Structure 1
Amino acid sequence: MSTPLTGRELEVLALTGRLAEELAAIVGNGPARAQDLNELLVHVHAIQHAVMAQAAARAYPEQFRLLGVLIPAETP
């Protein structure tokens, strides 16, 4: 079963890539650069994971939920 990311989801992922590049551009080249970039980029990665999880939620709606949607309650 193929459940690719939507066009909008792909656009959001492209935005996060550009955000990561922009963040790297404003972080100085001092001794704390790597640590500061890691601290910022972990949040970018969290956004990317949440967006990519949309495909899993569409593939397995009974186990995972789409962002903004509730998992349907089990019927007894």
Structure 2
Amino acid sequence: MLTDAEHTAMDLTAQLWNTLSAIADNGPARPGDLAELATHIHAIQHAILAQAAARAHPDRYRLMGGHPMQGVRIAGRTVP
């Protein structure tokens, strides 16, 4: 479940998308420009939603700003 702050952050990403869509001109580059913007907005949304996963599975994921995972193998090495 998302916190109130996370819901607010998700709502802000929707507002940002709507604002950027309104700013974008209707020229031939619009579809590509919007696709690029969508990629970045989706990355922000992914980070927000990952917080719920981190709370549900603290042994597998960490909260933003939290301590690095210990004892987890990353790129062939174990984090101490």
Give the TM-score, by structure 1 length: 0.88
Higher RCO (Cα < 8 Å, 6 or more apart): 1
C-alpha separation between the residues in 1 aligned to 2:34 and 2:25? 10
Q: State the 1:70 CA deviation.
A: 1.6
Residue identity over aligned pairs, in percent, reads: 51
Q: Which amino acid aligns with 1:26?
A: I
User: What SS does the corresponding residue of 2:21 show, helix, strand or coil?
Assistant: helix
Q: Which amino acid aligns with 2:48?
A: V
Q: Paired residues, what number?
A: 71
Q: Any residues of structure 2 matched to 1:1-76 within 5 Å, and which?
A: 4-74=1-71
Q: State the 1:41 CA deviation.
A: 1.5
Gaps of 5+ in 1: none
Give the TM-score, by structure 2 length: 0.84
Q: Which amino acid aligns with 1:54?
A: Q
Gaps of 5+ in 2: 72-80
Instruction: Report if the CA contact (8 A) 1:54-1:67 is conserved.
Output: yes
